[in-house]
């Protein structure tokens, strides 16, 4: 959806694409649903930013699929050298006892560091006046510094800035010259307006000039998304990014800031650029995205990845895809209109459906068939297909794997703060109870989640009391 056609939700000067939540769909009328897969996870850290500043979260800032993506649940390497593997589980729905929860966990192969292709990365950094705050340019500098320290001699970096000026600060410099790259990044100072379009074009031109055949060619756009000067037509910008995508140049978008953060614009650019999108709200998050998880963020193993899900209407009466709201193909019977996303190395993403089963179903069931279609990275004309038609037995929620229990708590948390129409039987107490019983307390992200739920409970309980 283009910027100019996209409804937006505004809070102050921040903007979010308007979301229409997926509803229940009849499996008899629409047995098949198709969706784009990617490793976007910006929503979770953005939600955390609001809660840590004791502010309620704009409902349209809550994208539950990205919140699930954030945790990289239960990663296991695909067997037999496969690029992907699909795992499934079926359990009672903890907020609606008449329904069930169906999980699909998709994992990608792990590419060893010494086997990763050489990279040319173009850092496209917004240094406009709006980036002059502790939670903007300094965070990005810290993240890029960490990334540079992970580079190998066969990797290279260019740096483009836009703000008061649009300029190439550094041309393709080897990862063996780390200090030279770091000096350029550290020297950046904010000021001026935001001619974003010119900066994006210059970055892609540089990526094309230094293109590595068979390598990882990527523009990393770091911005608060405030493209307020210099764009004659935002649709032209999107089209240019789409053209570059088809030529093998990926786009990673890093969002920062508070007050004028343009989530809707950055999200759209990432989608058009066959890329991924993360929001950096702290130094710890900068380290997580650009150091600890840099292979997931920057190295693709599967392109144009989309999933087709076919329900058996004799087993499933109706179903609801949780998250992925406003996505093309949500109730389509074909993959033809679905544009795939990219998945990085060693990644685990989790999808969830709430389903209403038919009466008198068997103990062992095959309610669904998953078909994953993708291109192996760098093989643009050889579509691959992976099909899974699992035989599933309903596992009671209390006996369910802890990671799936924890994921259910994340779903309920997201549903409550986005004020979902399906959240009426969810409570903060229930979310906390499930999170406490299932969290891996040695995992910092899961441990932090419990404190975020407690903060949200206090904040939203006050709101409820005021409404009485």
Most trustworthy range by pLDDT among 11-15, 196-200, 317-321: 317-321
- Which alpha helices (DSSP H) does 262-306 contain, by range? 263-272, 283-287, 294-298
Residue 271 has pLDDT above 70, yes or no: no
Instruction: Provide the mean pLDDT of the chain.
Output: 87
As a whole number, mean pLDDT of residues 45-58 equals 93
Q: Which of 305, 309, 299 is nearest to 344 (CA)?
A: 299
Q: Is the pTM of this model over 0.85?
A: yes
CA atoms within 13 A on the CB side of 292: 12
DSSP assigned state of 288: I
User: At which residue do the structure tokens 């086997």 appear?
Assistant: 115
pLDDT digits (tens, 9 = 90+) for 95-141: 999 999 999 999 999 998 888 999 999 999 999 888 998 889 999 99
How does residue 263 score in pLDDT terms, banded at 50, 70 and 90? low
Beta carbons of 377 and 305 less than 8 angstroms apart: no
How does residue 389 score in pLDDT terms, banded at 50, 70 and 90? very high
As a whole number, mean pLDDT of residues 431-455 equals 97
Q: Which of 121, 189, 161, 101 is nearest to 408 (CA)?
A: 101
Q: E strands along 288-444, which residues?
A: 300-311, 316-321, 341-344, 348-357, 364-365, 368-376, 383-388, 392-393
pLDDT digits (tens, 9 = 90+) for 71-96: 999 889 999 999 999 999 999 999 99
User: At which residue do the structure tokens 């523009």 appear?
Assistant: 219
pLDDT digits (tens, 9 = 90+) for 323-365: 998 753 344 443 344 567 889 999 999 999 999 999 988 889 9
Please give the pLDDT value at position 468.
44
Distances (CA, A) of 419 to 18, 221, 337, 356: 14, 31, 30, 22
Q: How far apart are CA 328 and CA 334, in angstroms?
A: 11
Q: Which of 99, 46, 53 is nearest to 418 (CA)?
A: 46
Q: How far apart are CA 246 and CA 347, in angstroms?
A: 23
How does residue 191 score in pLDDT terms, banded at 50, 70 and 90? confident
Q: How far is CA 386 from the centre of its chain?
A: 22
Q: How far apart are CA 263 and CA 277, in angstroms?
A: 10
- Domains, in order of start, for the chain: 3-111+301-466 (2.60.40.1230), 113-298 (3.40.50.410)
Greater model confidence, 249 or 232: 249
């Amino acid at each position: 959806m283009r910027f100019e056609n996209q409804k937006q939700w505004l809070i102050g000067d921040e903007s979010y694409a308007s979301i229409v939540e997926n509803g229940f769909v009849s499996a008899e009328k629409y047995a098949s649903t198709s969706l784009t897969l990617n490793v976007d996870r910006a929503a979770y850290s953005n939600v955390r930013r609001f809660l840590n500043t004791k502010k309620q979260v704009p409902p349209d800032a809550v994208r539950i699929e990205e919140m699930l993506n954030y945790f990289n649940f239960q990663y296991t390497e695909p067997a037999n050298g496969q690029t992907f593997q699909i795992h499934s589980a079926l359990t009672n729905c903890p907020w609606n006892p008449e329904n069930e929860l169906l999980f699909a966990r998709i994992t990608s192969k792990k590419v060893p560091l010494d086997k990763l292709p050489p990279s040319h990365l173009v850092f496209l950094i917004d240094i406009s006046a709006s980036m002059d705050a502790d939670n903007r340019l300094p965070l990005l500098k810290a993240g890029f510094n960490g990334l540079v320290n992970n580079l190998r001699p066969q990797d290279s970096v260019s740096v483009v800035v836009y703000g008061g000026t649009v300029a190439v600060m550094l041309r393709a410099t080897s990862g063996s010259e780390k200090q030279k790259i770091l000096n350029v990044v550290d020297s950046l100072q904010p000021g001026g307006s935001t001619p974003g379009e010119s900066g994006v074009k210059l970055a892609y031109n540089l990526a094309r000039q230094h293109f590595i055949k068979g390598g990882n060619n990527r523009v990393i756009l770091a911005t608060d998304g405030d493209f307020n000067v210099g764009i004659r037509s935002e649709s032209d910008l999107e089209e240019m990014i789409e053209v570059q995508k088809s030529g093998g140049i990926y786009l990673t978008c890093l969002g920062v800031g508070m007050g004028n953060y343009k989530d809707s614009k950055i999200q759209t650019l990432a989608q058009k650029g066959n890329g991924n999108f993360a929001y950096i709200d702290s130094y710890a998050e900068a380290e997580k995205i650009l150091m600890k998880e840099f292979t997931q963020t920057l190295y693709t193993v599967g392109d144009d990845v989309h999933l087709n899900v076919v329900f058996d209407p004799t087993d499933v009466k109706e179903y609801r895809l949780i998250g992925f709201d406003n996505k093309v193909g949500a109730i389509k019977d074909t993959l033809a209109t679905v544009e795939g996303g990219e998945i990085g190395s060693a990644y685990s993403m989790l999808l969830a459906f709430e389903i209403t089963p038919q009466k008198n179903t068997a103990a062992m069931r095959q309610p669904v068939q998953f078909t994953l279609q993708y291109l192996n990275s760098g093989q643009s004309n050889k579509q691959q297909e992976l099909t899974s038609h699992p035989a599933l037995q309903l596992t009671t929620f209390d006996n369910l794997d802890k990671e799936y229990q924890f994921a259910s708590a994340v779903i309920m948390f997201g549903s409550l703060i986005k004020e979902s129409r399906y959240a009426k039987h969810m409570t903060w107490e229930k979310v906390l109870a499930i999170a406490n019983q299932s969290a891996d307390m040695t995992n910092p992200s899961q441990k932090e989640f419990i404190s975020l739920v407690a903060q949200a409970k206090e904040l939203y309980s006050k709101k409820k009391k005021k409404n009485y």
